A and B are shown apart, each in its own frame.
Chain A
Amino acid sequence: MLFLGALEQGLIYGLMALGVYLSFRVLSFPDLSVDGTFPLGAAVAGILVFRGFDPILAVLGALGAGLLAGAFTGVLATRLRIPGLLAGVLTMIMLYSLNLRIMGRPNLPLLGRPTAFLRLSQVFAIPRGWEALSIGGLFALGLALLLFLFLKTELGGAMRATGDNPQMVQAYGMSPESLTTLGISISNGLVALSGALASQYSGFADVGMGVGTIIAGLASVIVGEILFRPRGIAWHLLAVLGGSVVYRLAISLALRYGATLGFTASDLRLVTALVVLLALAAPALRSALRGETG
C-alpha cells in the first residue's frame, strides 16, 4: 500500500516535476511561481467542482489558469526586466491572495465530489482501486510524451537553445523573451494541472499546499538525474517522473519510520532542502575536495 500510494503520488506530482524541469533545466530559469501555481490549480479546479462543473473541465480550467500565471511571470522577467527569481516570488505572493479569493476560504473539502480520476476511469473501464494509478500514469506519461514531441519541434528546439544561449537565438531571428515567456507559461500550466489532480486525489484544496513545491520539484529532477543518468530528452523526461516516484517513496518511508529515528513530519522540508542543497553544491564541493579554486 505504501508503494502503491507513493507510485500514484509520484506520477501526479511528476507533472509538477516536468514543469520544474522545463523551467529549471531547459530554460535555466529557477521559477518560484510554482509555489503559487500548484495551489492555484487546486483552487481553480476545486471551486469549479464545488460549483458543480465536470471535474475534467475543472482540471482543464486549472491548466489554463496555470498557463496564464506562468506567462505573467515570463512577462515580468523578460519585458519588465525583473530578475527571474524575484519575478517568480512576486507571482507567488500575488497568487497567495488570489487563491484565497478564488476558493473564498483557506481550505476547500472535496471528499465525495466527482474527480477526474473517477470520470476518466469510467471511460477506460478501469477496475476499482486502480483509478489514481492508471489515470495519474496516463496524465504523466501522456504529457511527458507531448513535452518530448514539443521539444523536438522547431519551436521547442529554439526554446532549448534559449536556455543555453539567448544571444544565438536572437542572432537567428527568434525572440529569447517570447520563447522564455512561452516556456514558463507551459511549465506553470503543468504545475497547476498537477495541483488540480493532487487536490482531487487527496480530497481537499488548501491555500498552503504549495509551500515547498519548487524544492520538491527540484528534488525530483535531481534525484532522477542521479539515479537514472539519462541521456537525451526522452530519457530525461522519464527520469524526472522516476525521480518524482522515488522522492514520494522516500517521503512515505520517512513518515512511516522516521518517528523511530526521532524525525517528525515537520522535519520533512528541512531534510528535502538539505538533499537538494547537497545535490546542487556537489560540483563545487567536488572541486573543493580536489583542491581547485572557484
Chain B
Amino acid sequence: MILRVLEVTKTFSLGGSRFSALDNLTLFLSEGDFATVIGSNGAGKTTLLNVIAGTLRPDRGKVEILGQDVTRWPAQRRAKLIGRVFQDPLRGTASQLTVAENLALAAKKGGRGLAPLLSRGRRRYLAQVLASLEMGLEGRLGEKVAHLSGGERQALAVLMATLTRPKLLLLDEHTAALDPANAEKVLAITEKLVAEHRLTTLMVTHRMDQALAVGNRLIMMHKGQIVLDLDEEEKRRLRVEDLVGLFRKVGVSDDALLLATNDDGEKGMMAEEAKKLAHLL
C-alpha cells in the first residue's frame, strides 16, 4: 500500500464557529492508483492534500506512506516521497531562476551540496527531458521562468514534480487556472508522465468530465468525508449526468460546481441537460 490515511480529522475555526475540513476520513491508495477527487467547495479536498503533503498537521489520525508513519514528518522531509503541483502556476516554480535551474533543483530533490547546480552533463539531460514536453522549452533553458506563459510554467511544474519518480503525486486542481487549450495540454502531459513512470496519483479537480475521463478511480468528498469511491469498472460506466445525480443525492447544491463542467458551449448544454435530469432524479 502506497498511502494510508487513517481516521484523520482536521478542524478549523472560522469566524468563531468550528468546522471539520476532514471528519474521521480514511483513504488507501495502492500502487498505480490514479484517483481523481471531486467535491464542492469546502468538502476538504485541498485539506486532504495538505495533510498528506505535511503542510498541515491533522488533529487526530495517522498518515502512512509505504507503511511508514509520516504524521509527524515536516513537509520537506516527506517531499522526498511526494511530488506536488498546485493550482497557481506561480507556486510550483521559482520565477527568478532559469528553466534549467528550476529543473535542476527538482532533479536534486533534497540535495543541498556545494556542487554546481548546473553541470554540462546535467544541462544536456534536462534539455532531453524538456524536449519530451514538445513545447519547445528545451531551447529556452537559460531563460527566467518569469518569462514563461502560465501553461508553459504549469507544464514545467508537472515535469519537475514527476522528475524524481515520487512514490505519490498530488495534483491540486492544477489545470484550473489555465485557459481551456492549455488546460488540455497540461492534462495530456500529466497523463503521459503518470503512465510513463507508473505514478500513484491523487488528482483534485473541479471538473466532473475530467474526473471521469482521467485515472482509474474516482473519489467524491463531501463535508470532510469520502461519500463515493468508484473503481475503474464502475467509473467507466458512469456519465457526467450520473455524477450530477449522485451529487444531488449527497445534498450538494453547488450550482457553480455543476456549471464548472462546461468547457465550451456543447458541454455547457450537457451540464444544463444534466441539471434537468438531476431534478427528475
Alpha-carbon distance A153/B122, docked complex (angstroms): 13
- CB within 8 Å of B: which A146-175 residues: 150, 152-158, 160-161, 163-165, 167-175
B115 near A164 (CB under 8 angstroms)? Answer: no
B contact residues around A168 at 8 Å (CB): 91-94
- Please give, as numbers and ranges, the residues of chain B lying within 8 Å of A163 by CB-CB distance: 96
A156 touches B97 (CB 8 A): no
Can you list, as one digit per residue, whether each of B100-119 has a CB less than 8 Å from chain A (1) or not (0)? 01101110111111111110
Residues of A near B97 (CB, < 8 A) are: 157, 160-161, 164
Which of A154, A164, A172 lies at the interface centre, i.e. has the most chain B CB atoms within 10 A of its CB? A172
A171 touching B101 in the complex, CB below 8 Å, given contacts A153-B117, A154-B111, A165-B94: no
List B contacts of A154 (CB < 8 A).
104-105, 108, 111-117
Is the beta-carbon distance between A158 and B93 smaller than 8 angstroms?
no
Asked if B76 and A158 sit within 8 Å, CB to CB, the answer is: no
A170-B75, A170-B76, A173-B77 known; A153-B114 Cβ under 8 A: yes
> Does B84 make an interface contact (CB < 8 A)?
yes
Residue B87 is within 8 A (CB to CB) of chain A in the complex: no
Chain A residue nearest to B74 in the complex (CB): A175
Contact yes or no, B91 A156, CB < 8 A: no
Number of B residues with CB within 8 Å of any CB on chain A: 36
- By the criterion CB–CB under 8 Å, are B118 and A161 in contact? no
Least Cβ distance of A167 to chain B in Å? Answer: 5
CA distance A160 to B92 in the complex (A): 15
Does B56 make an interface contact (CB < 8 A)? no
By secondary structure, the B interface counts as: loop
The answer to the question of B227 belonging to the interface, with a C-beta cut-off of 8 Å to chain A, is no
| Nearest CB of A to B158, in Å | 13
Question: For chain B residues 143-191, which have a beta carbon within 8 Å of chain A?
Answer: 160-161
* Cβ-defined partner of B104 (8 Å) among A157, A165, A169: A157
Q: How far is the CB of A172 from chain B (nearest CB, A)?
A: 5
Given the known interface contacts A172-B109, A173-B79, the answer about A165 and B114 at a Cβ–Cβ threshold of 8 Å is: no
User: From A167, which residue of chain B is reached at the shortest CB distance?
Assistant: B91
Judging by beta carbons under 8 Å apart, are B105 and A158 in contact? Answer: yes
Q: Name the interface size band of chain A.
A: 20 to 34
Complex contact A164–B94 (CB within 8 A):
yes
Inter-chain CA distance A156–B53, complex, in Å, is 25
B90 sits at the interface (CB 8 A): yes
With A170-B75, A171-B84 as known contacts, state yes or no: A160 contacts B96, CB within 8 Å: yes
A157 and B106 CA atoms in complex are apart in Å by: 11
| CB proximity of A171 to chain B, nearest CB, Å | 5
Docked Cα-Cα span, A174 to B161, in Å, equals: 14
Closest to B85 in A: A171
The answer to the question of B140 belonging to the interface, with a C-beta cut-off of 8 Å to chain A, is no
Q: How far is the CA of A160 from the CA of B145 in the complex (A)?
A: 13
- A224 to B120 CA separation, bound complex (whole angstroms): 31
Assembly CA distance A157 to B93 (angstroms): 13
Contact A172 B113 (CB under 8 A): no
The answer, yes or no, to whether B80 is at the interface (CB within 8 Å) is yes
Chain A nearest CB, measured from B118 CB (Å): 7
Residues of B within 8 A of A153 (CB): 113-117
Contact A170 B105 (CB under 8 A): no
Q: Shortest beta-carbon distance, A177 to chain B, in Å?
A: 9
In the bound complex, how far is the Cα of B94 from the Cα of A171, in angstroms? 12
A169–B84 alpha-carbon span in the complex (Å): 12
Residues A155 and B112 in contact in the complex (CB < 8 Å), given A161-B105, A172-B79 = yes
A154 to B119, CA, bound (A): 11
Residue of B84, B92, B116 near A152 (CB, 8 A) is B116
CB distance from A237 to the nearest CB of B (A): 15
B95 at the interface (CB under 8 A from A): yes
Pick from B74, B106, B115, B117: contact of A172, CB below 8 A. Answer: B106
Q: Are B79 and A160 in contact (CB under 8 A)?
A: no
Q: Which residues of A contact B53 (CB under 8 A)?
A: 171
B108 to chain A, nearest CB (A): 5
Q: For B77, B96, B101, which residue has the most chain A Cβ atoms within 10 angstroms?
A: B96
Across the interface, B94 reaches (CB within 8 A) one of A152, A155, A161, A175, namely: A161
Q: Are A165 and B110 in contact (CB under 8 A)?
A: no
Smallest CB separation, B27 vs chain A (Å): 21
| B154 smallest CB distance to A (angstroms) | 13
Beyond A164-B94, A173-B76, 20 additional contacts (C-beta under 8 Å) are A153-B113, A153-B117, A154-B111, A154-B117, A155-B112, A155-B113, A157-B117, A160-B96, A160-B97, A161-B101, A163-B96, A164-B95, A167-B91, A170-B55, A170-B79, A171-B79, A172-B160, A173-B80, A173-B110, A175-B76
Q: Closest 8 CB pairs between A and B? A: A173-B110, A173-B79, A161-B94, A157-B117, A164-B94, A165-B94, A173-B109, A164-B96
Q: List 22 A-B contacts (CB under 8 A).
A: A153-B113, A154-B104, A154-B108, A154-B111, A154-B114, A154-B117, A155-B112, A155-B113, A157-B101, A161-B97, A163-B96, A164-B94, A165-B93, A165-B95, A168-B93, A169-B94, A170-B55, A171-B53, A171-B75, A172-B160, A173-B110, A174-B79
